[in-house]
Structure 1
Amino acid sequence: MLAALLVLSACFIVPLPRLGSFTALRGLSKRLSKNQPDREEQELNWAAAMVGELRAGKQPVLALVDCHKDHPVAPHAVRASRLGARVTDALKRDAGHPRSLLYSVAAIWDVAHSSGTSLADILQKITEGQRQTLEVRRALHVELAGPRTTARMMSALPLLGLLLGVLLGANPLGWLISSSGGLAVMVGGLALNIAGYRWIQKVVSRVEESL
């Protein structure tokens, strides 16, 4: 019983990869492609290229098509521009969610066209702001690695305490197994240990998701 509880605790502290599952495959794919820019970085590179094309004097639709060759992040928008459809709706479809840079570009596309405002100037400001946000998010992700590691270390301390007791000649395992009080302490301690670890992980995840 003790071995089973210790294994259960270890599984919560250090999650084991589930080979064959979609989550594991997706994580493996991310590790293999870690040298490639992520979606946000691709959108920022696309926006920078768009600004360059627009400042060179190209019309927004032509700039959109030309930038797609090296930065294929807006295929629906390119298709819409070629068919004469609304680029704004297509950009929102490419964006996928309101926090995407493409969603912001969609919001200013028609406004800049109808008001005569320079799309390049607005796009450059949005790109600079988005890049700063991305840098802050990445820096915070690095900083949050500390609390995650601390949570794992703190969760492992009870197991190290048991091992230390055995090395000192005591018999903590025997007491935990042989008495009802010991079993209650062991089960309660494991429950609190797992709950504390999960709580810290949840807090850190919420901070990351809020950015």
Structure 2
Amino acid sequence: MIAAWCGGLTVLALAAALRPRPAARSVVPRSRDAPPGRQPGHGWWPRRRRDVDAAEVATWCEGLARVVRGGSTLIAALRSVEPPASCRSVVDDIVLALDRGARLTDALTVSSTSPHLNLAITVARACAVNGGPPAEPLDRAAATLRSRAADAAERRTQSAQARLSAVVMTVLPIAMLTLLLATSAPTRAAAVSGPGLAAIAIGGALNIAGWRWMRRIVAQVES
């Protein structure tokens, strides 16, 4: 009975250690009336933090280009086109600066934690500085962002087997220990001894370290 309790507590401790934590939110303040963005996913293999998705920014750039091509100015397009929820706070800052009388070039001098949103803002700022029709540069920026999104999706697909292998290699020792504690009296007797508890503790620490190491390697490949 004592061995079973020790095995159960070990499994719970490992499960708590392996439980993914939500990704940190962006430090850019969000407007009070803005709808919340997408929540970070939960599961065995959480994605790396992505404040802004490339495909969402591409859709926003296409919307800006469509409005501008219809005869509106870039300022009117920024005010009328709905931005993605994940980058609404940055776009709201731009629109607020325009409402306060700032020039377009000054309003577009904002910082973002996302390289995708920075690309769109840089293209819009270049159009405001150099003049000319901004529809074509925005369409090209959208095409570049679509390509980035496709590349990221392909990397996630290619790394799916590695993620599955990491999950199996992490869960299998825990499952085997639980099964042996439940069915084998010698294993339960060894587990409550000093060397047995030390072996379980060392094995659990190595299991957690291996899980985090594999997750970090695959996350670098997906980035």
Say whether 1:104 aligns with 2:119. Answer: yes
- Structure 2 regions of 5+ residues with no counterpart? 1-5, 26-35, 42-50
Over 6 Å off, 4+ runs: 69-72
Pairs within 5 Å for 1:22-33: none
Say whether 1:156 aligns with 2:171. Answer: yes
Give 1:157 shift.
Answer: 1.8
Indicate the SS of the match to 2:192: helix
Say whether 1:195 aligns with 2:212. Answer: no
Which residue matches 1:34?
none
Choose from 77, 80, 84 the match for 2:94: 77
Of structures 1 and 2, the one scoring higher in RCO (CA 8 A, sep 6+) is 2
CA 1:153 to 1:44, structure 2 compared with 1: closer, same or farther past 3 Å? Answer: same
TM-score (normalised: structure 2):
0.66
Contact 1:50 1:67 in 2 (8 A): yes
Choose from 160, 185, 188 the match for 2:199: 185
Count of equivalent residues:
194
Which residue matches 1:57?
71
- Structure 1 regions of 5+ residues with no counterpart? 32-37
TM-score (normalised: structure 1):
0.69
Say whether 1:11 aligns with 2:20. Answer: no
Indicate the SS of the match to 1:187: helix
CA 1:58 to 1:108, structure 2 compared with 1: closer, same or farther past 3 Å? Answer: same
The two structures, once aligned, show a CA RMSD in angstroms of 3.7
Aligned partner letter, 1:80: A
Could you list the per-position Cα deviations for residues 123-142 of structure 1 after superposition, in whole angstroms to 9, with x for gaps in the alignment? Answer: 11111111221232234335
Q: Distance in 2 between matches of 1:62 and 1:75?
A: 13
Identity %, equivalent residues: 24
Give 1:28 shift.
Answer: 9.4
CA 1:10 to 1:62, structure 2 compared with 1: closer, same or farther past 3 Å? Answer: closer
